[in-house]
A and B are shown apart, each in its own frame.
Chain A
Amino acid sequence: MTAFTTLLAKDLRQIVRTWRIWVLPTLTALLAISGPITARYARELFASLGGSEFLGLLSDPTWVDAYAQWTKNLAQLLTFVVIIITASAISGEVRDGTAVLTLTKPVSRTTFVVAKFVATAALVIVSIGGGAALTYASTAVFFPGAPAGPLIQATLVWGVLALLLIAATLLGSAVFSSGGAIGVGLGVLAGLGLISLLPAASNSPSGLLGLPGLLGSGQSADVVWPVVTGLGLTVFLLATAAIAFNRREL
């Protein structure tokens, strides 16, 4: 095994043997199942809460509502969970002294950082992929004939945003404590949000913020530039994380 595969195998084993295996996959599964149910019974829930006089304003629920729940959950909840589970990836090892024992062996710090990125990305991709599959299955039960395409596109585009945030949070984790890393992740997310207010920003990585909702509702949108620039920024942030960690004293 190479140093990279050894570190990656260790990081994946860490995910399986610690709390990380429960948080994102469990939360994703719960949200994936509950989203279409909420969409299907939203009218009934609204009526039971005393809003029956407004029922006429609500249209009949469709698969679009179910997918909208999923994309809202991705944007409003799972985005933050991704930042939180990434935050201690490097800083936790530095704090616990495991980084010192590992990095005094013939392994580069760049390899260490990249292995962390790949392991975290794998956890997110598998969890969100599973969540999307569950969302589709659950939606198909309540809204037969729901297309898979919009859901897949929306999830894939959000996946690119997740990779970007993992890289940003890893950069924070390579330099600061876990709290600082969360700050960097949230800061990049807020920065993207601010940039998205500018004209022509939809072609930048900030375009990734609004695309999942748009694509999930079945609308078409140009995803190429946000995805390409998003992946470019991810590589840049990851390279910066590696450089910063190489310069850090342990």
Chain B
Amino acid sequence: MPPAVETVELTKVYGSVRALDGLTMTVPRDRIVGLLGPNGAGKTTTLRVLLGLAHPTSGTARVLGTDTRSARQQIGFLPDVPGFHPWLTAPEWLQFAGRLFGLPESVISKRSAALLDQVGLTTSRRIGTFSRGMKQRLGIAQALINAPDLLILDEPTSALDPLGRMDILNLIAALKGRTTVLFSTHLLADAERVCDQLVIVDQGKVVASGTVAELRHARSGAGTLFDLDFTGPADQLTQRLSAEPWCSGCELTPTGAVITASDVTAARIRIPALLAESGMGLVRFEEREASLEDVFAHLVGPR
């Protein structure tokens, strides 16, 4: 069976801007895959190309083994800001969406009721009176009306309050193993919580992909991270660290640095010593495993 999504050297140019720059990725079936990246990285453009809303300048995109337009019967989609006709009610919109998929009326009615109940929208008010969060939940419901093989969500939780966000994440997590979910987000905690796999994009390219564990491991190697907050100029410290055999990386932060160490014992002894030798004041010294934030910051870099 072909993968749910496969892009090869996908490029999209808008004037002088390369929104996608040879983006190649594969999304396996029945996985929940997070598309991560900073603003302007190309996440939404990638999704738009997959949905046939934008045409690639070059490269290919195949969805569910076919071209993007032919696959629509099996795709559910929620844009970052879903637009609904304000004069319809939520059940009417789901009926409209279901009919566009050619579903029998009995199926539409059954699924609509179940989905609206699932997302907590059992109101007969017109959509024009809905809050942003309610619209987002209706967006999820309409994206599932056709029981899609592939669910594409663009920033699905960005407009939601913490409880609404939790509900949507639970709903996505419940699809695990049944539907392929590809969702873009810049909320790393959301991605970490529900995703089987992550694809990190930056400047229109895939810069890393894998499971959260794989990405963490790749970030720290066999090493451990040390968070440092200190006072004084960082130049001397970085210079001295580069001469230390146990130090496999050092990234400066606004208040200090994150040091990657291959030899934890040596690092525990040498880091405070190096600071003291450099005449710098130690404010905080913390040993920890690499987080998804570290992976992201390492790959994407400071903005």
Q: Which A positions have Cβ atoms within 8 angstroms of B?
A: 1-3, 6-7, 10, 13-14, 17-18, 93, 96-107, 249-250
Residues 75-112 of chain B, each 1 if its beta carbon lies under 8 Å from chain A, else 0: 10101011111011000000011011110000000000
A7 closest partner in B (C-beta) = B100
How far does the Cβ of A102 sit from chain B's closest Cβ, in whole Å? 7
Chain B residues near A101: list those with CB within 8 A: 77, 79, 82-84, 97, 139, 142
Q: Is the CB of B53 within 8 A of A14?
A: no
Chain A residues near B53: list those with CB within 8 A: 100, 103-104, 249-250
Decide yes or no: A105 and B82 within 8 Å by CB, A10-B96, A100-B53, A249-B54 being known contacts. no
Please measure, in the bound complex, the distance between the C-alpha atom of A136 and the C-alpha atom of B140, giving whole angstroms: 53
On chain B, the number of residues with a Cβ less than 8 Å from chain A's Cβ atoms is: 27
Contact of A249 among B55, B85, B99 (CB under 8 A): B55
Kindly state whether residue B51 has any CB partner on chain A within 8 Å.
yes
Q: 10 closest A-B pairs (Cβ-Cβ)?
A: A97-B83, A6-B99, A17-B87, A105-B100, A104-B77, A106-B72, A98-B83, A96-B83, A250-B53, A249-B54
Please measure, in the bound complex, the distance between the C-alpha atom of A2 and the C-alpha atom of B100, giving whole angstroms: 7
Chain A residues near B142: list those with CB within 8 A: 101
Kindly state whether residue B118 has any CB partner on chain A within 8 Å.
no
Q: Is the CB of B82 within 8 A of A97?
A: yes
Please measure, in the bound complex, the distance between the C-alpha atom of A105 and the C-alpha atom of B101, giving whole angstroms: 7
Contact of B72 among A2, A6, A98, A104 (CB under 8 A): A104
Instruction: Apart from A102-B100, A106-B100, list 13 A-B contacts with CB within 8 A.
Output: A7-B100, A101-B77, A101-B79, A101-B83, A103-B53, A104-B52, A105-B72, A105-B97, A105-B146, A106-B101, A249-B48, A250-B48, A250-B53
Q: Is the CB of B54 within 8 A of A6?
A: no
Q: Which B positions have Cβ atoms within 8 angstroms of A?
A: 48, 51-55, 72-73, 75, 77, 79, 81-85, 87-88, 96-97, 99-102, 139, 142, 146
Chain A residues near B88: list those with CB within 8 A: 13
How far does the Cβ of A119 sit from chain B's closest Cβ, in whole Å? 13
Chain A residues near B99: list those with CB within 8 A: 1, 3, 6
Decide yes or no: A3 and B100 within 8 Å by CB, A104-B77, A106-B73, A249-B53 being known contacts. yes
Chain B residues near A106: list those with CB within 8 A: 72-73, 100-102
Chain A residues near B72: list those with CB within 8 A: 104-106
Contact of B85 among A2, A3, A98, A107 (CB under 8 A): A98
Chain A residues near B55: list those with CB within 8 A: 249
10 A-B pairs with CB atoms under 8 Å apart are A6-B100, A10-B85, A97-B81, A97-B82, A101-B77, A101-B83, A101-B139, A106-B101, A107-B100, A250-B53
A6 closest partner in B (C-beta) = B99
Please measure, in the bound complex, the distance between the C-alpha atom of A101 and the C-alpha atom of B72, giving whole angstroms: 12
Please measure, in the bound complex, the distance between the C-alpha atom of A102 and the C-alpha atom of B97, giving whole angstroms: 7
How far does the Cβ of B79 sit from chain A's closest Cβ, in whole Å? 6
Chain B residues near A18: list those with CB within 8 A: 87
Please measure, in the bound complex, the distance between the C-alpha atom of A7 and the C-alpha atom of B85, giving whole angstroms: 13
How far does the Cβ of B84 sit from chain A's closest Cβ, in whole Å? 6
Q: Is the CB of B81 within 8 A of A104?
A: no
Chain A residues near B139: list those with CB within 8 A: 101
Please measure, in the bound complex, the distance between the C-alpha atom of A170 and the C-alpha atom of B249, giving whole angstroms: 60
Chain A residues near B97: list those with CB within 8 A: 101, 105
How far does the Cβ of B77 sit from chain A's closest Cβ, in whole Å? 4
Chain B residues near A103: list those with CB within 8 A: 53
How far does the Cβ of A249 sit from chain B's closest Cβ, in whole Å? 5
Chain B residues near A104: list those with CB within 8 A: 51-53, 72, 75, 77
Chain A residues near B52: list those with CB within 8 A: 104
Chain A residues near B51: list those with CB within 8 A: 104
Chain B residues near A105: list those with CB within 8 A: 72, 97, 100-101, 146
Please measure, in the bound complex, the distance between the C-alpha atom of A7 and the C-alpha atom of B99, giving whole angstroms: 9
Chain A residues near B96: list those with CB within 8 A: 6, 10
A3 closest partner in B (C-beta) = B100
Chain A residues near B102: list those with CB within 8 A: 2-3, 106
A247 closest partner in B (C-beta) = B55
Please measure, in the bound complex, the distance between the C-alpha atom of A105 and the C-alpha atom of B96, giving whole angstroms: 11
Please measure, in the bound complex, the distance between the C-alpha atom of A6 and the C-alpha atom of B103, giving whole angstroms: 12
Chain B residues near A13: list those with CB within 8 A: 87-88
Chain B residues near A14: list those with CB within 8 A: 85, 87
Please measure, in the bound complex, the distance between the C-alpha atom of A186 and the C-alpha atom of B94, giving whole angstroms: 37
How far does the Cβ of B109 sit from chain A's closest Cβ, in whole Å? 14
A250 closest partner in B (C-beta) = B53
Please measure, in the bound complex, the distance between the C-alpha atom of A107 and the C-alpha atom of B82, giving whole angstroms: 18
Q: Is the CB of A100 within 8 A of B83?
A: yes
B152 closest partner in A (C-beta) = A104
How far does the Cβ of A1 sit from chain B's closest Cβ, in whole Å? 5
B55 closest partner in A (C-beta) = A249
B126 closest partner in A (C-beta) = A17
A95 closest partner in B (C-beta) = B83
Please measure, in the bound complex, the distance between the C-alpha atom of A88 and the C-alpha atom of B82, giving whole angstroms: 19
Kindly name the residue among B54, B87, B96, B97 whose own CB sees the greatest number of chain A CB atoms within 10 A: B96
Please measure, in the bound complex, the distance between the C-alpha atom of A97 and the C-alpha atom of B53, giving whole angstroms: 12
